[in-house]
Amino acid sequence: MVPPVVWAGTGEPDAQLWTELDVTGPIATNTTITGIAKVRFSESLTNPTLTSGEVNLNHRIGDWNLGIGYAHELTPQRPEENIDGKDVKVTQVVRVFGTYAWRWERNTLSLRLRLDDTLNASSNPYRARVRLEYRWATAGLSWMSYLFASDEVFYEFQDQQWYRNRFRAGTNLVLTERTDLQVFYQRQDSNNSTPGAINALGLTVDVTFK
């Protein structure tokens, strides 16, 4: 087994914009459902680089948040990968995940484990992701709720390798009572894809119904 490679990307970094809309609503006590839409853009690749629709079912037990989800992703088919004449590659993923959070004063430290099964993959369908995130609550600011930084590593079971590292740092802005905007910088480095390095601006709108 190869140990995690923190900065594995090679070549000139690609500048990208990652946008996301999350809408969450309750369906039972401590149980919510979240719909997620993602669109990503690149300065050098065919755009959009990814369009995704997802749905997650979440259940909270104390300091644990457990869930199961499904994602339907569309990405442009690269000529060297195109074996069936289609311009768009479709990926269907089922995932399970769990997050545990430690909270003290204005601090939150959370650890998330996620397991993915790519339903329509011809090989190597199983992947794992481990993310550690720190949040610092910004007391006294009505327009900002917290600052955060996170690091996530990705693992392929078939190849038995850590193949990606994703670092984020940013802030969560309060737009309305129900709506937040997360703005962050992201650096992603991969040893099995092109571009191997990505510098991205991330914008995530989170709408929560209670």
Per domain, the residue ranges of the chain are: 14-208
Q: Which residues pair with 109 in a beta bridge?
A: 102, 134
Q: Mean of the pLDDT values across residues 85-96? A: 87
Q: Which residues pair with 207 in a beta bridge?
A: 23, 179
Confidence of residue 80 (pLDDT cuts 50, 70, 90): low
The reported pLDDT for the residue numbered 43 is: 96
Q: Mean of the pLDDT values across residues 147-158? A: 96
- Taking the C-alpha atoms of residue 144 and residue 62, their distance in angstroms, rounded to an integer, is 26
* CB-CB contact of 56 with 67 (8 Å): yes
The reported pLDDT for the residue numbered 2 is: 41
User: DSSP 3-state assignment of 142?
Assistant: coil
The pair phi, psi for residue 132, each rounded to 5°, is -115, 125
Structure tokens at 77: 């088919």
Q: Does pLDDT of 9 surpass 90?
A: no
Among residues 194, 125, 186, the alpha carbon closest in space to that of 151 is found at: 186
The reported pLDDT for the residue numbered 4 is: 46
The pair phi, psi for residue 81, each rounded to 5°, is -105, -5
> What is the maximum span of the chain, computed from C-alpha positions, in angstroms?
57
Among the four given CATH numbers 2.40.128.140, 1.10.10.10, 1.10.510.10, 3.40.309.10, the one describing domain 14-208:
2.40.128.140
Instruction: Please give the full DSSP string across 59-116, using - where no structure is assigned.
Output: EEETTEEEEEEEEEEEEEPPGGG-SSS-SEEEEEEEEEEEEEEEEETTEEEEEEEEEE
Confidence of residue 82 (pLDDT cuts 50, 70, 90): low
The reported pLDDT for the residue numbered 95 is: 98
State how far the alpha carbon of 45 is from the alpha carbons of 11, 65, 191, 198, in Å: 14, 36, 18, 12
0.95 cut: is pTM over it? no
The reported pLDDT for the residue numbered 77 is: 78
The reported pLDDT for the residue numbered 88 is: 86
Which residues neighbour 130 within 8 Å (Cβ) at sequence distance 6 or greater?
111, 112, 113, 114, 152, 153, 155
Q: Does pLDDT of 1 surpass 60?
A: no
The reported pLDDT for the residue numbered 202 is: 98
The pair phi, psi for residue 52, each rounded to 5°, is -140, 140
> What percent of the chain shows pLDDT beyond 70?
90
Average pLDDT, the chain: 92
4-8, 99-103, 164-168, 206-210: segment of lowest average pLDDT: 4-8
- 181-195 confidence digits (pLDDT tens): 999 999 999 998 889
* CB-CB contact of 207 with 23 (8 Å): yes
Q: Which residues pair with 67 in a beta bridge?
A: 58, 97
